[in-house]
Amino acid sequence: MSVVPAPWSQRVLRSLVGAGAAYFALFVVVHAALALTSAGSNAWDAVSLVLIVVPQWVLIRRRSLDLPLRTAVVLAALVVGAAITGLMSIADIARPAGYDAWFFGGIAFDLLGLTVVGRFGVAWVTMAVVLATALGWAVLGDRPLSVGLGLVVRHVATLAVGTALAVSLRRSNAASVAFRAVQRRRRMEEDVARARAGARRSAVEQVLEQAGPMLRAIAEGRRISADDRRQMLVLEGALRDQIRTPRLSATELRAVVDTARRRGVNVLLLDEADEASEAARADASLWLAAQLESTKRGGFIGRLRDIEGGGVRASAVRDDHGEAAVFH
Protein backbone atom coordinates (compact mmCIF):
# COMPACT_ATOMS: atom_id res chain seq x y z
CA MET A 1 0.00 0.00 0.00
CA SER A 2 1.52 3.35 -1.07
CA VAL A 3 1.72 6.22 1.39
CA VAL A 4 0.43 9.58 0.16
CA PRO A 5 2.73 12.38 1.32
CA ALA A 6 1.15 15.07 3.46
CA PRO A 7 0.45 18.42 1.77
CA TRP A 8 3.22 21.02 2.11
CA SER A 9 1.00 23.10 4.40
CA GLN A 10 0.73 20.23 6.89
CA ARG A 11 4.49 19.60 6.78
CA VAL A 12 5.18 23.28 7.43
CA LEU A 13 2.67 23.27 10.30
CA ARG A 14 4.28 20.21 11.92
CA SER A 15 7.68 21.82 11.59
CA LEU A 16 6.46 25.03 13.16
CA VAL A 17 4.83 23.13 16.00
CA GLY A 18 8.09 21.32 16.53
CA ALA A 19 9.80 24.74 16.74
CA GLY A 20 12.49 23.77 14.23
CA ALA A 21 11.47 26.08 11.40
CA ALA A 22 10.38 28.82 13.79
CA TYR A 23 13.71 28.78 15.59
CA PHE A 24 15.69 28.77 12.35
CA ALA A 25 13.68 31.65 10.89
CA LEU A 26 14.18 33.69 14.06
CA PHE A 27 17.90 32.88 14.08
CA VAL A 28 18.31 34.05 10.48
CA VAL A 29 16.24 37.22 10.93
CA VAL A 30 18.06 38.30 14.10
CA HIS A 31 21.56 37.74 12.73
CA ALA A 32 20.71 39.23 9.34
CA ALA A 33 19.45 42.36 11.08
CA LEU A 34 22.64 42.56 13.13
CA ALA A 35 24.81 42.04 10.05
CA LEU A 36 23.05 44.77 8.08
CA THR A 37 22.96 47.31 10.90
CA SER A 38 26.47 46.84 12.26
CA ALA A 39 29.09 49.51 11.72
CA GLY A 40 30.97 49.12 8.43
CA SER A 41 28.53 46.56 7.04
CA ASN A 42 29.90 45.07 3.79
CA ALA A 43 29.98 41.93 1.63
CA TRP A 44 32.09 40.05 4.22
CA ASP A 45 29.15 40.28 6.63
CA ALA A 46 26.95 38.48 4.10
CA VAL A 47 29.52 35.70 3.65
CA SER A 48 29.90 35.35 7.42
CA LEU A 49 26.10 35.21 7.80
CA VAL A 50 25.83 32.34 5.31
CA LEU A 51 28.64 30.41 7.01
CA ILE A 52 26.89 30.82 10.38
CA VAL A 53 23.43 29.89 9.10
CA VAL A 54 24.44 26.64 7.35
CA PRO A 55 25.54 24.79 10.55
CA GLN A 56 22.32 25.81 12.26
CA TRP A 57 20.29 24.43 9.37
CA VAL A 58 22.18 21.14 9.49
CA LEU A 59 21.80 20.83 13.27
CA ILE A 60 18.07 21.58 13.53
CA ARG A 61 17.35 18.96 10.86
CA ARG A 62 18.91 16.23 13.00
CA ARG A 63 16.45 13.65 14.32
CA SER A 64 18.84 12.24 16.92
CA LEU A 65 21.28 13.47 19.55
CA ASP A 66 24.28 12.03 17.70
CA LEU A 67 26.36 13.57 14.92
CA PRO A 68 29.08 11.84 12.86
CA LEU A 69 32.56 13.17 13.54
CA ARG A 70 33.16 13.98 9.87
CA THR A 71 30.04 16.14 9.73
CA ALA A 72 31.01 17.86 12.99
CA VAL A 73 34.45 18.71 11.60
CA VAL A 74 32.91 20.17 8.43
CA LEU A 75 30.57 22.33 10.52
CA ALA A 76 33.51 23.42 12.67
CA ALA A 77 35.40 24.48 9.53
CA LEU A 78 32.40 26.58 8.46
CA VAL A 79 32.31 28.20 11.88
CA VAL A 80 36.01 29.10 11.70
CA GLY A 81 35.40 30.49 8.20
CA ALA A 82 32.58 32.61 9.62
CA ALA A 83 34.95 34.01 12.25
CA ILE A 84 37.62 34.86 9.67
CA THR A 85 35.21 36.56 7.23
CA GLY A 86 33.49 38.34 10.11
CA LEU A 87 36.79 39.74 11.36
CA MET A 88 37.61 40.86 7.82
CA SER A 89 34.35 42.83 7.81
CA ILE A 90 35.59 44.89 10.78
CA ALA A 91 39.21 45.11 9.71
CA ASP A 92 38.98 48.92 9.44
CA ILE A 93 37.41 49.38 12.88
CA ALA A 94 40.04 50.00 15.53
CA ARG A 95 37.93 49.09 18.51
CA PRO A 96 34.66 47.34 17.59
CA ALA A 97 31.80 48.27 19.90
CA GLY A 98 28.22 47.15 20.40
CA TYR A 99 27.16 44.58 17.83
CA ASP A 100 29.96 45.28 15.33
CA ALA A 101 31.27 41.75 16.05
CA TRP A 102 27.77 40.24 15.88
CA PHE A 103 29.04 37.09 14.18
CA PHE A 104 30.66 35.80 17.38
CA GLY A 105 27.18 35.46 18.89
CA GLY A 106 26.04 33.32 15.95
CA ILE A 107 29.22 31.26 16.24
CA ALA A 108 28.47 30.62 19.92
CA PHE A 109 25.02 29.31 18.99
CA ASP A 110 26.55 26.99 16.38
CA LEU A 111 28.98 25.60 18.94
CA LEU A 112 26.18 25.17 21.45
CA GLY A 113 24.41 23.08 18.83
CA LEU A 114 27.49 20.87 18.56
CA THR A 115 27.43 20.27 22.31
CA VAL A 116 23.76 19.30 22.17
CA VAL A 117 24.56 16.54 19.65
CA GLY A 118 27.44 15.31 21.81
CA ARG A 119 30.43 16.83 20.00
CA PHE A 120 31.88 18.61 23.03
CA GLY A 121 35.50 18.21 21.99
CA VAL A 122 34.90 19.58 18.50
CA ALA A 123 32.98 22.54 19.93
CA TRP A 124 35.73 23.53 22.37
CA VAL A 125 38.58 23.01 19.91
CA THR A 126 36.69 25.21 17.46
CA MET A 127 36.18 27.86 20.13
CA ALA A 128 39.92 27.80 20.85
CA VAL A 129 40.65 28.29 17.14
CA VAL A 130 38.12 31.14 16.98
CA LEU A 131 39.75 32.78 20.00
CA ALA A 132 43.19 32.42 18.41
CA THR A 133 41.80 33.96 15.22
CA ALA A 134 40.48 36.96 17.15
CA LEU A 135 43.84 37.43 18.89
CA GLY A 136 45.64 37.17 15.56
CA TRP A 137 43.27 39.76 14.10
CA ALA A 138 44.15 42.11 16.95
CA VAL A 139 47.89 41.61 16.49
CA LEU A 140 47.76 42.08 12.71
CA GLY A 141 45.76 45.28 13.17
CA ASP A 142 48.18 46.71 15.75
CA ARG A 143 45.51 46.45 18.42
CA PRO A 144 45.98 45.34 22.04
CA LEU A 145 45.33 41.63 22.62
CA SER A 146 42.65 42.65 25.08
CA VAL A 147 40.55 43.97 22.18
CA GLY A 148 40.52 40.60 20.43
CA LEU A 149 40.03 38.79 23.72
CA GLY A 150 37.13 41.03 24.64
CA LEU A 151 35.28 40.12 21.45
CA VAL A 152 35.22 36.40 22.34
CA VAL A 153 35.52 35.98 26.09
CA ARG A 154 31.82 36.39 26.89
CA HIS A 155 30.96 33.81 24.25
CA VAL A 156 33.40 31.39 25.87
CA ALA A 157 31.40 31.78 29.08
CA THR A 158 28.19 31.19 27.13
CA LEU A 159 29.63 27.99 25.67
CA ALA A 160 30.72 26.83 29.14
CA VAL A 161 27.22 27.28 30.55
CA GLY A 162 25.68 25.65 27.47
CA THR A 163 28.07 22.70 27.73
CA ALA A 164 27.04 22.06 31.33
CA LEU A 165 23.38 22.23 30.31
CA ALA A 166 23.94 19.92 27.32
CA VAL A 167 25.72 17.36 29.50
CA SER A 168 22.82 17.42 31.95
CA LEU A 169 20.26 17.08 29.18
CA ARG A 170 22.10 14.18 27.55
CA ARG A 171 22.37 12.36 30.87
CA SER A 172 18.68 12.89 31.54
CA ASN A 173 17.85 11.68 28.04
CA ALA A 174 20.06 8.58 28.45
CA ALA A 175 18.39 7.79 31.77
CA SER A 176 14.96 8.26 30.20
CA VAL A 177 15.83 5.99 27.26
CA ALA A 178 17.18 3.33 29.62
CA PHE A 179 14.07 3.56 31.80
CA ARG A 180 11.76 3.19 28.78
CA ALA A 181 13.80 0.21 27.58
CA VAL A 182 13.44 -1.45 31.00
CA GLN A 183 9.70 -0.77 30.94
CA ARG A 184 9.35 -2.27 27.45
CA ARG A 185 11.34 -5.34 28.49
CA ARG A 186 9.25 -5.81 31.62
CA ARG A 187 6.01 -5.45 29.67
CA MET A 188 7.28 -7.97 27.13
CA GLU A 189 8.28 -10.41 29.88
CA GLU A 190 4.88 -9.96 31.55
CA ASP A 191 3.08 -10.53 28.25
CA VAL A 192 5.12 -13.67 27.60
CA ALA A 193 4.47 -14.92 31.14
CA ARG A 194 0.73 -14.29 30.78
CA ALA A 195 0.68 -16.04 27.41
CA ARG A 196 2.53 -19.06 28.81
CA ALA A 197 0.29 -19.19 31.87
CA GLY A 198 -2.79 -18.98 29.66
CA ALA A 199 -1.52 -21.74 27.37
CA ARG A 200 -0.65 -23.91 30.35
CA ARG A 201 -4.05 -23.32 31.93
CA SER A 202 -5.79 -24.18 28.68
CA ALA A 203 -3.75 -27.36 28.29
CA VAL A 204 -4.50 -28.44 31.86
CA GLU A 205 -8.20 -27.82 31.29
CA GLN A 206 -8.07 -30.02 28.19
CA VAL A 207 -6.50 -32.83 30.20
CA LEU A 208 -9.11 -32.43 32.93
CA GLU A 209 -11.84 -32.60 30.30
CA GLN A 210 -10.37 -35.88 29.09
CA ALA A 211 -10.31 -37.09 32.67
CA GLY A 212 -13.97 -36.16 33.16
CA PRO A 213 -15.48 -39.55 32.16
CA MET A 214 -13.00 -41.42 34.36
CA LEU A 215 -13.68 -39.18 37.34
CA ARG A 216 -17.43 -39.65 36.91
CA ALA A 217 -16.94 -43.42 36.75
CA ILE A 218 -15.01 -43.35 40.01
CA ALA A 219 -17.65 -41.11 41.62
CA GLU A 220 -20.42 -43.49 40.54
CA GLY A 221 -18.56 -46.44 42.06
CA ARG A 222 -18.21 -48.35 38.81
CA ARG A 223 -15.70 -51.16 38.63
CA ILE A 224 -12.26 -50.01 37.39
CA SER A 225 -10.72 -52.32 34.80
CA ALA A 226 -7.06 -52.75 33.91
CA ASP A 227 -7.59 -50.59 30.83
CA ASP A 228 -9.15 -47.91 33.03
CA ARG A 229 -6.12 -47.97 35.31
CA ARG A 230 -3.78 -47.57 32.36
CA GLN A 231 -5.90 -44.66 31.14
CA MET A 232 -5.69 -43.04 34.56
CA LEU A 233 -1.91 -43.38 34.47
CA VAL A 234 -1.90 -41.77 31.03
CA LEU A 235 -4.07 -38.89 32.26
CA GLU A 236 -1.96 -38.43 35.37
CA GLY A 237 1.20 -38.29 33.31
CA ALA A 238 -0.38 -35.92 30.77
CA LEU A 239 -1.45 -33.56 33.56
CA ARG A 240 2.04 -33.67 35.05
CA ASP A 241 3.59 -32.98 31.67
CA GLN A 242 1.27 -30.06 31.00
CA ILE A 243 2.34 -28.46 34.26
CA ARG A 244 6.08 -29.17 34.12
CA THR A 245 6.85 -29.33 30.38
CA PRO A 246 4.08 -27.44 28.54
CA ARG A 247 6.23 -26.71 25.47
CA LEU A 248 7.02 -30.39 24.95
CA SER A 249 3.39 -31.27 25.46
CA ALA A 250 2.45 -29.02 22.53
CA THR A 251 4.56 -31.05 20.05
CA GLU A 252 4.13 -34.35 18.24
CA LEU A 253 5.81 -35.95 21.24
CA ARG A 254 2.49 -35.75 23.13
CA ALA A 255 0.79 -38.56 21.22
CA VAL A 256 3.89 -40.77 21.38
CA VAL A 257 4.10 -40.30 25.16
CA ASP A 258 0.43 -41.24 25.64
CA THR A 259 0.87 -44.36 23.51
CA ALA A 260 4.00 -45.38 25.43
CA ARG A 261 2.26 -44.98 28.77
CA ARG A 262 -0.66 -47.09 27.60
CA ARG A 263 1.72 -49.94 26.88
CA GLY A 264 3.21 -49.61 30.37
CA VAL A 265 6.30 -47.42 29.87
CA ASN A 266 7.03 -45.08 32.80
CA VAL A 267 7.78 -41.79 31.01
CA LEU A 268 9.41 -38.75 32.64
CA LEU A 269 10.06 -35.58 30.62
CA LEU A 270 12.43 -32.79 31.68
CA ASP A 271 12.60 -29.51 29.76
CA GLU A 272 15.57 -27.31 30.73
CA ALA A 273 16.06 -25.65 27.32
CA ASP A 274 14.84 -22.09 27.86
CA GLU A 275 17.15 -20.36 25.36
CA ALA A 276 17.07 -22.88 22.52
CA SER A 277 15.71 -21.87 19.13
CA GLU A 278 12.33 -23.18 18.01
CA ALA A 279 13.90 -25.15 15.14
CA ALA A 280 16.36 -26.89 17.48
CA ARG A 281 13.56 -27.70 19.95
CA ALA A 282 11.38 -29.14 17.18
CA ASP A 283 14.18 -31.40 15.93
CA ALA A 284 14.98 -32.51 19.49
CA SER A 285 11.33 -33.32 20.16
CA LEU A 286 11.14 -35.49 17.03
CA TRP A 287 14.31 -37.28 18.12
CA LEU A 288 12.86 -37.96 21.59
CA ALA A 289 9.67 -39.24 19.99
CA ALA A 290 11.65 -41.70 17.87
CA GLN A 291 13.59 -42.92 20.92
CA LEU A 292 10.40 -43.35 22.92
CA GLU A 293 8.66 -45.26 20.14
CA SER A 294 11.44 -47.85 20.26
CA THR A 295 11.03 -48.27 24.04
CA LYS A 296 8.69 -51.20 24.66
CA ARG A 297 8.78 -51.42 28.43
CA GLY A 298 10.43 -50.13 31.61
CA GLY A 299 11.32 -46.52 32.28
CA PHE A 300 12.16 -43.65 29.95
CA ILE A 301 13.60 -40.26 30.86
CA GLY A 302 13.67 -37.63 28.11
CA ARG A 303 15.58 -34.42 28.79
CA LEU A 304 16.34 -31.19 26.90
CA ARG A 305 19.15 -28.83 27.93
CA ASP A 306 20.50 -25.57 26.47
CA ILE A 307 23.89 -25.39 24.78
CA GLU A 308 25.77 -22.41 23.40
CA GLY A 309 24.58 -20.81 20.18
CA GLY A 310 20.87 -21.40 20.71
CA GLY A 311 21.17 -25.16 20.35
CA VAL A 312 19.77 -27.95 22.49
CA ARG A 313 21.11 -31.27 23.79
CA ALA A 314 18.54 -34.05 23.95
CA SER A 315 19.13 -37.17 26.01
CA ALA A 316 17.07 -40.35 26.32
CA VAL A 317 17.77 -42.70 29.23
CA ARG A 318 16.19 -46.16 29.37
CA ASP A 319 16.55 -48.87 31.96
CA ASP A 320 19.45 -50.48 30.13
CA HIS A 321 21.24 -47.62 28.35
CA GLY A 322 21.15 -43.95 27.37
CA GLU A 323 21.66 -41.87 24.20
CA ALA A 324 22.16 -38.19 23.45
CA ALA A 325 22.11 -35.89 20.43
CA VAL A 326 22.77 -32.18 19.78
CA PHE A 327 20.60 -29.99 17.59
CA HIS A 328 21.13 -26.42 16.28
Same domain, 144 and 47: yes
My answer on whether 30 and 141 are in the same domain is yes
Question: What's the pLDDT band for 3 if we cut at 50, 70, 90?
Answer: very low
User: Is residue 217 included in any domain, yes or no?
Assistant: no
* Dist CA 53 CA 24 (whole Å): 8
The structural domain count of the chain equals 2
Out of 182, 209, 229, a domain closes at 182
* Within-domain flag for 138: yes
Residue among 284, 279, 323, 283 at smallest CA distance from 301: 323
Query: Do 145 and 260 belong together in one domain?
Result: no
- Answer yes or no: do 136 and 278 share one domain: no
Does residue 281 contact residue 289 with C-beta atoms inside 8 Å?
no
Confidence of residue 12 (pLDDT cuts 50, 70, 90): very low
- Of 147, 164, 182, the residue that ends a domain is 182
- Asked if 292 and 261 touch (Cβ cutoff 8 Å), the reply is no
**Mean pLDDT rounded to a whole number for the chain:** 83
Q: Per-residue pLDDT for 275 more than 50?
A: yes
Question: What range does the domain containing 282 cover?
Answer: 244-327
Q: What is the DSSP letter of 263?
A: T
Higher-confidence residue of 236 and 43: namely 43
Task: For 310-324, write each residue's pLDDT tens digit.
Answer: 788 999 998 778 889
Using N-to-C axis directions, what is the helix angle for 226-244 and 145-219, rounded to 10°?
170
Q: Is residue 224 part of a domain?
A: no
Give yes or no: residues 269 and 134 share one domain: no
Q: Is the same domain home to 135 and 18?
A: yes
Q: Which of 182, 199, 231 is the last residue of a domain?
A: 182
Q: Centre a 10 Å sphere on the Cβ of residue 169 and count the other Cβ atoms it contains.
A: 13
Express each pLDDT in 13-30 by its tens digit. 444 445 677 888 889 999
Mean pLDDT, residues 171-192: 83
- Output the CA–CA distances (angstroms, integers) from residue 246 to 195, 241, 272, in the order listed: 12, 6, 12
Work out the pLDDT band at 156, boundaries 50, 70, 90: very high
Average pLDDT (51-60) is 92
Residue 67 located in a structural domain = yes
Contact call for residues 270 and 301 (beta carbons, < 8 A): yes
Q: What is the pTM of this model?
A: 0.55
Q: What band does 52 get if pLDDT is binned at 50, 70 and 90?
A: very high
pLDDT in tens, 192-234: 778 777 766 766 666 666 666 666 666 666 776 767 677 777 7
User: Does 32 or 7 have the greater pLDDT score?
Assistant: 32
Question: Measured between alpha carbons, how far is 292 from 314 in angstroms, rounded to an integer?
Answer: 12
pLDDT for residue 234: 73
Co-location of 156 and 291 in the same domain: no
**Bigger pLDDT: 54 vs 328:** 54
Q: Are strands 299-307 and 311-318 parallel, antiparallel or unpaired?
A: antiparallel
Cβ atoms of 124 and 133 closer than 8 Å: no
Cβ–Cβ under 8 Å, residues 44 and 86: yes
b/e sequence 278-297, b meaning 16+ C-beta within 10 Å: eebbebbbbbbbebbeebee
The DSSP call for residue 270 is: E
Backbone angles phi, psi at 18, to 5 degrees: -75, -5
